[in-house]
Amino acid sequence: MSAINISGLVKRHGDVVAVRGIDLDVEAGELVVLLGPSGCGKTTTLRCLAGLEDATEGEIRIGGVVVSRPGFKLPPEKRSIGMVFQSYALWPHMTVAGNLAFGLRLHGLPKAEIAERLQAALQLVGLGNYASRNAGELSGGQQQRVALARAIVLQPQILLFDEPLSNLDAKMRERMRLEIRELQKRLGITTVYVTHDQQEAMVIADRIVLMNAGRIEQIGPPRQLYDRPASLFAADFVGVTNPLDGRITAVEGGHAIVKVRDAMLECPAQHDCKAGDEVDVVIRPEHIRVGAKQTGERNGFQGQVTDTVFLGSCTDIGVASDIGQIRAQCSPPGNQTPGQTVWLTVDPAAIVLLRRAAAAGNN
């Protein structure tokens, strides 16, 4: 039995439909990330799950128990949920211990158990010696750890995160997402995590639920969404891509020949494609090899460097090529310069084909 079942979830705000009939199951111990741009419905979905907003239609179950359906809503405090907000929502005038103990006292726990749980939670987040510090005196990263400790001290069935790292600097975000991932796996708590940051989602998720305009665009492990996007929106939002217009000219022996401008590309046949199909061709920059000379390999074509960006571990290169304006990555960094003629080779196995009609229907 799944830990969370969401069936036919719809949320309207007046004439605006924020969530459009979502179905989602989350398995026990799984960390699922709701990913998407602002306004896609991910936070509204999370708030309906938490009981902070009333669903217009649909049913939500936690641990097999109905917590929301039309005409019935279980209060948030009875859903066995711990929640971590973007703003931390700490009382700055209270000590760290006071912030953690507040919810435990509301549940009527004895003092000895409160003290034991409080210290255990602080140890888990690396703040064992901070119980007597005022929350308002802590750094952003420390406050986020206190908020996390406050969520787990109640020993909830479900953990919910709403953009928890948005207020931290880049280095602290990198550190905290790894800490959250490690702690969630150690505790085995079923977790739903909302973010607009695709890199954050790729690092921490068991599965990503990519949302767009109130609907689920694609669900799968991070690698699947990156390597095999189901739509142009998915390809563009998760990572960097080169979207190109193509037409399949032949399909033979499991391989497709695709005409892109004046060039022909070969790749594995996908989606029962056939000759004559109009397709969107998706190629990631790192799957384009850049060289100075023609190699004679398949999927090779010429181009001229238009710009270069040094990124440390690689160089990002803009190229005006036979298949259009594209971006490629050289790792280790190369010494290409604007105006230089280069030879590009695309890995056939890395090319993704999306039927034009299907891609349009998903956007």
Pair type for strands 31-35 and 190-195: parallel
Contacts 24+ apart (CB under 8 A), 141-144: 141/168, 141/172, 141/175, 141/176, 143/88, 143/90, 144/84, 144/88, 144/168, 144/176
Mean pLDDT, residues 88-117 taken together: 90
pLDDT, mean of residues 306-318: 93
Domain locations in the chain as residue ranges: 2-233, 240-355
CA proximity to 13, closest of 62, 59, 50, 47: 47
What pLDDT was estimated at residue 206? 98
Q: What is the pLDDT of residue 26?
A: 98
Report whether pLDDT(363) > 60. Answer: no
Amino acid, res. 156: P
Query: Domain 240-355 classified CATH 2.40.50.140?
Result: yes
Q: At what angle do helices 111-124 and 96-106 cross, to 10 degrees?
A: 130
pLDDT tens digit sequence for 218-276 = 999 999 999 999 999 999 999 999 999 999 999 998 999 999 998 999 999 988 889 99
Q: What's the confidence (pLDDT) of residue 361?
A: 44
For 2-233, which CATH superfamily applies? P-loop containing nucleotide triphosphate hydrolases (3.40.50.300)
Residue 360 has pLDDT above 70, yes or no: no
Q: Which one of 81-90, 101-110, 138-147, 186-195 scores highest in mean pLDDT?
A: 186-195
- DSSP-derived pairing of the beta strands 288-291 and 4-13: unpaired
What digits encode the pLDDT tens for the residues 319-359? 999 999 999 999 888 788 999 999 999 999 999 999 885 44
pTM of the shown model: 0.91
Q: Tokens representing 46? A: 């999370």
| pLDDT for the residue 262 | 87
> Considering the chain, what percentage of its residues have pLDDT values greater than 90?
81
- pLDDT at residue 295, as a whole number: 78
What is residue 332's predicted lDDT score, i.e. its pLDDT? 83
- 277-305 residue pLDDT tens: 999 999 999 999 999 888 778 899 999 99
> What gap in Å lies between CA 330 and CA 334, rounded to an integer?
6
